Amino acid sequence: MSIKNVVLGMAVLGSVVGGGLAVDAATAPEANAACYGSVTLTKGKNNSCTSARNWNVIKNKGTKYGNWAGRGAWSYEAACWVNVVSYGMTAV
């Protein structure tokens, strides 16, 4: 995971906590962000990254990750989590 992804995740978390809205990390201007899309609380599509996975930050529980997905595939969460404060997708 790159430093940019960590900083992006923290920025999204700060936006969600401050504004009370779920923000899609795929809208970030970072180059990796253009390679995935259709990110929801339960899944995300890897359009062109080498590998990507979706994630949810759960209040008082930490981060839950979906499976790593190759180009053209979907990453899915293992469950539909409650108390999600942030979600998005990370690519490599």
* pLDDT band per the 50, 70, 90 thresholds, residue 6: very low
pLDDT at position 14 is 46
The number of distinct structural domains making up the chain is: 1
pLDDT (mean) for 46-67: 94
pLDDT at position 32 is 55
Query: Mapping DSSP to helix (H, G, I), strand (E, B) and coil, where does residue 7 land?
Result: helix
Residue 66 has which token pair?
Answer: 């979906």
Q: How far apart (Å, rounded) are the C-alpha atoms in residues 66 and 77? A: 4
* pLDDT band per the 50, 70, 90 thresholds, residue 24: very low
pLDDT (mean) for 33-62: 91
Q: Is the dihedral of CA 56, 39, 77, 35 positive or negative?
A: negative
